[in-house]
Amino acid sequence: MHAILGASGKVGRTTISSLRKAGVPVRAILRDPSKAKEFSELGCEIAVAEINDHQALTAALTGARAVQVICPVDVRAQQPRSSMMQLIDSIGAALAMAKPQTILAISDYGAQHDSGTGITLLFHALEMRLRKLDCKLILLRSAEHMENWARLAKAAAESGRLPSFYHPLTKALPTVSAFDVGAIAADLLLEKTDAIERLVHVEGPRRYTPEDVAAAIASLTGRSVIAQPLPEADWQTVWQRAGLSEEYARLLVELYIAHNAGRINAESGVGEIRRGTTEMIDVLRRLLKS
């Protein structure tokens, strides 16, 4: 039995679909019981548990041979750092009780750093917590999801301007479709290995600059689209106006400063890199139609 935390997200759904196609029994762990029907139709066992409910989460994980872990962050939480640390502690404690043979954790590019990376520091903390457990561990560090361009891409399609937190606009950045992350996670769970710990980075078939993204939007909409750097002094305000909490916005400011300094990248000389097959233009096409 493979238990999947975050089953209803893009990554979790894709992992589950791939595992079920391979004939693997899956337990979908959901926070919202109203979403159970679609997973039952895939042949999944259903467990309902909030991550911070230790008893329910332990019960949901018990009996699973392998567990896929993802730790959600509430962008509106007033104290996202402490909130996510509590979730990490809850996940770690439940896994220690459930004792699966294998854990695959969805982590982040840059998680090797222990300071100066904003929200990515929480993935560093997740990795450190899981390394204390007695099991095989797969750390799947994901590049930023292409789907994160959704809000800016739609605005650019209307205005002809694509604001960018990435500087310079000609810098090629690692990025990947969330659906490719889920598919590669399933592949890793299905592989047989004696390794106690594996570190795998996942990104798309190639890297893209903000100018590449603007050109792709222009190609899809038939209008001129120009990438424009957003001044760092405006970042905090922009994110708070978008509905993020003040602290979460601060963590993102720190993250994109680290991005632009080249620190959010695959860890050099460590682990392996796997590549998804989805191109940025295909993701943007889907986003602009939605």
Per-residue pLDDT band at 71 (split at 50, 70, 90): confident
pLDDT on residue 108: 97
Q: What is the pLDDT of residue 3?
A: 98
Beta bridge partners of 142: 108, 202
Contact by Cβ (8 Å): 178, 145: yes
Weakest mean pLDDT among 30-34, 129-133, 175-179: 30-34
266-285 pLDDT, tens digit each: 999 999 999 999 999 999 99
- Closest-CA residue to 62 (of 27, 88, 20, 14): 27
Q: Where are the domains of the chain?
A: 2-143+175-202+267-277
Of the CATH numbers 1.20.1300.10, 3.40.50.720, 2.170.8.10, 3.30.200.20, which one belongs to the domain with range 2-143+175-202+267-277? 3.40.50.720
The Cα–Cα gap between 14 and 18 comes to 6
Query: For 6-26, what is the mean pLDDT?
Result: 97
Q: What is the pLDDT of residues 170-197, one digit of tens each?
A: 999 999 999 999 999 999 999 988 899 9
Band (109; pLDDT cuts 50, 70, 90):
very high
Query: pLDDT at position 75, please?
Result: 76
80 band by pLDDT with thresholds 50, 70 and 90: confident
Average pLDDT over residues 250-265: 95
